[in-house]
């Protein structure tokens, strides 16, 4: 069960990301944490991170990996879990 506060936070981040305001990684992590089903949004925003080198490099400090290969494994694993 998702609280009203959590739902509001997800919706705020979703709107922010949809409008190009950033926060895609935070959105993906929150959706995973709350175990929400938003396959279309998760796929869209996850692929946008994977396909944009500047977005990937800007997440370097947020991702617990030293190597880009580990980052891709983490992100693709996150996408797989969210799309199940």
Q: pLDDT digits over 52-82, tens only? A: 777 767 766 555 444 456 666 777 777 777 7
* Distance of alpha carbon 28 from alpha carbon 50, whole angstroms: 13
The answer to whether the pTM exceeds 0.85 is no
d(CA 60, CA 6): 26
Q: What would the 3-class secondary structure string for 52-69 be?
A: CHHHHHHCCCCCCCCCHH
What's the confidence (pLDDT) of residue 64?
A: 47
pLDDT, position 61: 58
Q: What is the pLDDT of residues 24-61, one digit of tens each?
A: 888 888 888 888 887 778 778 777 877 777 776 776 65
In the prediction, which pLDDT does 8 show? Answer: 92
């Amino acid at each position: 069960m998702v609280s009203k506060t959590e739902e509001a936070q997800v919706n705020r981040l979703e709107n922010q990301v949809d409008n190009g305001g950033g926060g895609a990684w935070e959105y993906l992590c929150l959706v995973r944490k709350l175990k929400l089903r938003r396959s279309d949004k998760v796929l869209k925003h996850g692929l946008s991170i994977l396909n944009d080198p500047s977005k990937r490099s800007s997440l370097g400090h947020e991702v617990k990996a030293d190597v880009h290969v580990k980052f891709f494994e983490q992100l693709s694993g996150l996408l797989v879990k969210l799309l199940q």
